[in-house]
A and B are shown apart, each in its own frame.
Chain A
């Protein structure tokens, strides 16, 4: 039995833990054993925290023994390596922070540790979360557990692949333009980007501050709701975190979505979309229809085509400021072999950042620079308003919108590495959601030649509950989410 513990869901593991059928140490050890087995092939982890995990697991077992177990007590998890962990190095998969040890915990880490979570490792990503494949990691590329020669998606590829490969029960990632949903789709797991402001960003190494959100990777919708119950809520240290009350996200997961109004925006079924993806997504939508949802197949969000440009102006602009702090004076990599302060600063950035990061810093610097601000940055912010308005209008008619998560199945490692634009295009279905600040979830919806396909469900601001209800109902009548890779 202990062979399979690492494949449990949170809710199944919790039941076994609470009934003392298994211990957290056993559960954690199962994950660590599996990491040893699969990690050489998957390479999801930047840092494994086995000793820390076992110590936490023991503490969790003591809590359980006192009968005080809550749903995440003793549950092993992975954290994307942009979430600061006190005393445990946090690299952002960048040479710049290869040896950086934060003296503080991110808000979500604090909450999860308080809830009894067991941290087993920090996961690989595209450097500073900039990318869609983990190929931009300064350390190594993570492999898709369903096809090792393919990417797991990104930027949170390590967090997605880790859960998909059974290295832990759940994980957290961050999503700026699709960085949770796209890898969730590529790795056949559930991935949620919450409403902007739902989860505190304190301690999340910033990429694009007005777009970044932290969210979970789990094996089903119920697990996702359980993690959100813990990490959501206002935080006094994040002025953009919302005061909206946090409901019990598991409360209405009853399988009933009768009468729910679902819109299908046609602009998301783009040219260049793989036919298998199109078929799988439409099949999934029909399933929702069978469950009683009222589906409008003919919704239009015409500004969708502008989202890519808006995103690739706003995100790099904010990033160019967020990454200016890495100058080699306070922490992180430093080029010390020079007498000149300016040269030291320039060389630190030259050698500390990878090509994609440098590209985006330059792009953002340009978009904000004197003479171009109005044409690029300000224009993008105005079009951002138009995109938001379209979502607002759509949500007066529909409870949710459903689209593919990505136009393609996982692509091959190296396939798009030399063409930044084609890489950017793999996020066309997910970017608009960050621009609007609304929540989006990706759930497993089928396979094409063994490669996973994701379905994206988009909700009103702070209506994560609706996304869970639809996902949960769908998962009651399908079994895509229970499939495992052969590793």
Chain B
């Protein structure tokens, strides 16, 4: 008996829903801040779907989708419109969702990602605008009967859907795609994209097929993944489940499955009683959108520089290594902090390149260490870009030593005091006076006869030990260059 092994490849496409950072809702003037308020207090007849109400399009929501489309290399349609997507569910106030069917705002873009050491371009099918639904809370009463409660605050919050092409070939690629998309949305400021709070949600379509074929086997939609890790795990589970099923000769069903985080598996969602038929038709209450080139350019001008472009610019403009540039541009706040530091200028005898690298070293070193340890964001630090540059200047001028600078930085970080006053208060300025250092060197030579003997016996490293002792004695304030010269001079004497 022979067995043939068929190699399968995984085909994944992601659908991401992100709430837009507008002040008011999609189709009414209620505040879009639904989370930080008491239940049903950010609700009006429009977002409650009362009889007789009409929607009016939030201009800013349209612009944020245009902005996202541009950031994702999509074409912004000159004609776009809204449609009614009909389905009944208690959290959907009108019994239809106002969405976009055949004329979305953004079309045909891409996202460059890197996974498992390989670069890849993943397609974006479309970016469209719709509205969020109310929130259901599930309860069990005293009688043991389950019931649901509904808070309508979230109903009508603007929601953007970004549909990706089925271009992803592994759970890792999916994770990278999602993380990149997440970074971009936060970067350009269109969404808080908070996954735990539900302002950034992901559904995945996953199927497998024999390598070299193009026909997909049954497509499975996976839902309920609430973190990047969950997406990765769910897809890994699902790819394996489908592969195993095929290996066992089972038929795969086209279905929707929910990820159960606690059990680490997907389960079929059978409650869908019948196939959906959304009966889309043009929303008669909303005139269409004509998006002019001028409008697109206005939005483009507002679009923040994207991470990849900024990284490349950092490398060109400041001659930073790729490693530094990548880390500095990973978040918008860090990149902005860095540039604010660079803008404070540098001494005339220093090149921009040298100063930029000094700043980068501080930000990626001590600064990141302390912000991470204290669980704060870059822009929450008490140290301002001007203060950090003062510290760098003090070191550069030789007022303090590198070792002392680290102490000063920690104090600045915890107190928010400027470097100058910390140095003065703690007496940390560098000792460069020849007589003071001469005395110190003499004392060290006298107290360490063994090391002196070692050196004279040809052990060069003994000199380093003696310099170290001198730094200790001066509490790091001794000018290390002069200290080394003096120790060497003393050792050569006699």
Contact = CB atoms under 8 A, between A and B. Distances in A.
B146 to A, nearest CB: 9
A324 B51 contact: no
Contact of A324 (B48, B96, B152): B96
A236 B59 CA distance: 13
A60 B93 CA distance: 39
Given A209-B285, A324-B96, A202 B86 contact: no
Contacts of B49: 325, 330
A184 interface: no
A321 B83 CA distance: 11
Contacts of B95: 321, 323-327
Interface stretch (A16-24, A363-371, A468-476): A363-371
A327 B49 CA distance: 11
Contacts of A402: none
A324 B94 contact: yes
Interface in A331-375: 331, 339, 341-342, 345, 365, 368-370, 373
A326 to B, nearest CB: 8
B150 interface: yes
A179 to B, nearest CB: 16
A169 to B, nearest CB: 25
Nearest to B273: A342
Contacts, number: 106
B287 interface: yes
Interface string A208-249: 111000000000000000000000000011111000000000
Contacts of B277: 369-370
Top 7 closest A-B pairs, CB basis? A324-B95, A210-B284, A368-B279, A209-B284, A205-B51, A203-B52, A84-B52
B88 to A, nearest CB: 6
Contacts of A342: 273
A201 interface: yes
Contacts of A125: none
Interface of B: 45, 48-57, 84, 86, 88, 90, 93-96, 145, 148, 150, 152, 273, 277, 279-281, 284-287
A469 B253 CA distance: 68
Contact of A239 (B45, B86, B152, B287): B287
Contacts of B90: 327, 329, 341, 345
Contacts of B48: 330
A325 B51 contact: yes
A92 B50 CA distance: 13
Contacts of A345: 88, 90
B42 to A, nearest CB: 15
A370 B55 CA distance: 26
Contacts of A82: 52
A126 interface: no
Nearest to B94: A325
B25 to A, nearest CB: 14
B161 to A, nearest CB: 20
A206 B52 contact: yes
A77 to B, nearest CB: 18
A466 B246 CA distance: 74
A378 to B, nearest CB: 9
Contacts of B84: 321
Contacts of B285: 209, 238-240
17 contacts: A84-B51, A97-B51, A102-B50, A103-B45, A104-B50, A203-B53, A209-B285, A239-B55, A239-B57, A324-B86, A324-B88, A324-B96, A329-B90, A331-B51, A341-B148, A368-B279, A370-B277
A288 interface: no
A323 B279 CA distance: 14
A202 B51 contact: no
Interface in A302-322: 317-318, 320-321
Given A202-B53, A236-B56, A320 B86 contact: yes
A345 B91 CA distance: 13
A395 interface: no
Contact of A321 (B50, B54, B86, B145): B86
A205 B52 CA distance: 4
Contacts of B50: 84, 102-104, 330-331
Contacts of A370: 277, 279
Contact of A104 (B45, B57, B150, B279): B45
Most chain A CB within a 10 A radius of its CB, from B51, B93, B96: B51
A106 interface: yes
Contacts of A323: 95
Contacts of B281: 317-318, 321, 368, 373, 377
Contacts of A406: none
A325 B52 contact: no
A102 B52 contact: yes
A106 B48 CA distance: 16
Contacts of A341: 90, 148
A90 interface: yes
A374 to B, nearest CB: 12
Contact of A339 (B51, B145, B273, B286): B145
Contacts of B53: 202-203
A236 to B, nearest CB: 7
A411 interface: no
Contacts of B86: 320-321, 324, 368
Contacts of A324: 86, 88, 94-96
A100 interface: yes
A325 B97 CA distance: 11
Most chain A CB within a 10 A radius of its CB, from B50, B55, B56, B150: B50
Given A321-B96, A329-B90, 8 more contacts: A90-B51, A102-B52, A204-B52, A239-B287, A240-B285, A317-B281, A321-B281, A324-B94
Interface in A80-103: 82-84, 90, 92, 97, 100, 102-103
A326 B286 CA distance: 22
A202 B284 contact: no
A323 B152 CA distance: 19
Given A321-B95, A324-B96, A369-B277, A102 B56 contact: no
Contacts of B94: 321, 324-325
A365 B278 CA distance: 10
Contact of A102 (B45, B145, B152, B286): B45
A324 to B, nearest CB: 2
